[in-house]
Chain A
Amino acid sequence: MRSNFVFQEIWIGLRRNLTMTVALIVVVAISLSLLGTGLLFVKQVESTRTYWQSKVEISVYLCYDASANPSCHGAVTPAQQNQLEATLKAMPQVENVSYVSQAAAFQLFKSTFSNDQAYVSSIKESDMPPSLEIKLANPDADYNVVASAVTGAPGVDSVIDEMTILEKFYRLLDGLKNAVIIVALILGVAAILLVANTIRLSAFNRRRETGIMRLVGASNFYIQLPFLLEGVIAGLLGWVLAAALLVGVKSLLLNNLQQYFSYNVGLSVSDLVEVVVLALLVGVGLCGLTSFLTLRRYLRV
């Protein structure tokens, strides 16, 4: 095995169809970075979803003096409130029920919007609804059952189920993620075709050399290796670009998401490494396999 001879041949091959090689590297880079972005997205969505689901609550707003709801007849009575709390606490799906009075709700409101004093001063304590905040044991499965148990019960103004709000948000994210992955797959197909074409061109360009190699008894391995490595190296270079892009996506885009959340949703370095390694396997595997299959068609003994 003469490794520097093989590398010399690869270099000649890559240089001879430089334009194809550049196109190939760019397409591989873009398809891999889109695939990686999609995967990072999946991880990001999962990490926020897990967090949200552990926090999700059902808010049962109770009737109060200023209620606009026609089914409310004045403020909730202590009896109605006790009845509701008892009903909810009896349900196995409910982990905890806590009462938030109008005063407490107003305090929370004031602290949430503390940077907008004009807004805060336009609201009075009596405008805030009292509520029962329900913590669920398994928010993923049970929220419908619990929400419907108290909807329309006497003294209940409205039931706000945070899960339904979140679902819309996640549907949007899922759609985005799917779109990214579909584009990545289409580009992946383009990359496969480009690899096949590049190798075919390369084999055609070097048909003299390969013809002589066959005649003087070079082994198939020796004849095919430069072409195979040509594809793999193009894949590798594409992956390097993709890895750089993915690091960029994570540090510029996803880390910026953090500022909209008050808790840590950032992806760890190991998540990024996992995606980048996966991209490496996909990229090099794809290019190598395509080269190999193309060679079997165009370089026969």
Chain B
Amino acid sequence: MIEFQNVTKVYPNQARAALENVDLTVNKGEFVFLVGPSGSGKSSFLRLILREERPNDGRILVAGNDLARLTNWKVPALRRKIGCVFQDFRLLPSKTVEQNVAFALEVIGKPRRFIRRVVPEVLDLVGLEGKHDRMPDELSGGEQQRVAMARAFVNRPMILLADEPTGNIDPATSIGIMKVLDRINRTGTTVVMATHDAAIVDSMRKRVIELEYGKVVRDQNRGVYGQAY
């Protein structure tokens, strides 16, 4: 589903590479944790998948597309296959929960009848029953992140990228968020989650890819957050 072949990314005016010779494959339906200290290249990894950045060297394949050959006008089509969740939720404060999720479908031109049917379904899936008409600032952090996940998942993407989705949320609430991500993963969606949260990684026992200074230092199935000795 995601394939990095010797990918190197160096930002302009930076001596050190953000990613160096990263070579790995994430299969369809996998759940992958991306761990490592700040500045280790986790965000660059996600941005490269979205083609927000382009590698200096190497090849990236996402959902069957060679990103180097993807023309600019085909980038939106790629991004429709990828859902995104962030640490800071990125909801629109002037829209209700339902409108926030519907927005993602409206802007890609889905018919209104489809939106009206699908949005309540996905809100129920992430556990927001009865809160469809609330404004984001009336919700707790965990609930806001659920809205963001509903928005990311509403178009049934093949891949869900999550950049520290529990970074702003207390540990108890994080468990609920992880349950939603797990549920999304069980529908066959590939999930890549960058995180600093050791407890979550340890409890989930999924594949762990550890980055350090832009290099993959560990790639382990059913791994834990810290180095396993």
Interfacial residues, chain A to chain B (CB-CB below 8 A) = 1-2, 5, 208-209, 211-220, 222-223, 301
Contact = CB atoms under 8 A, between A and B. Distances in A.
Interface string B66-84: 0000001101111111111
Contact of A220 (B76, B104, B108): B76
B76 to A, nearest CB: 4
A1 B112 CA distance: 11
B222 interface: no
A2 B115 CA distance: 12
Contacts of A216: 79-80, 83-84, 104, 107-108, 151, 155
B23 to A, nearest CB: 27
A208 B92 contact: yes
A219 B90 contact: no
A2 B92 contact: no
A212 B73 CA distance: 17
Given A216-B151, A301-B72, A222 B108 contact: yes
B90 A2 contact: no
B92 A222 contact: no
Contacts of B194: none
Nearest to A213: B107
What interface size band does chain B fall in? Answer: 20 to 34
Q: Of residues A209, A218, A220, which shows the largest number of chain B Cβ atoms within 10 Å of its Cβ?
A: A218
B181 to A, nearest CB: 18
B104 A212 contact: yes
A212 B103 contact: yes
A14 to B, nearest CB: 15
Given A212-B92, A301-B72, A218 B107 contact: yes
8 contacts: A212-B104, A216-B107, A216-B155, A217-B75, A217-B76, A217-B78, A219-B73, A301-B72
A215 B151 CA distance: 11
B137 interface: no
Interface string B119-155: 0000000000000000000000000000000010001
B109 interface: yes
A215 B148 CA distance: 12
A64 to B, nearest CB: 87
Contacts of B72: 301
Contact of B109 (A209, A212, A222, A301): A222
A100 B97 CA distance: 94
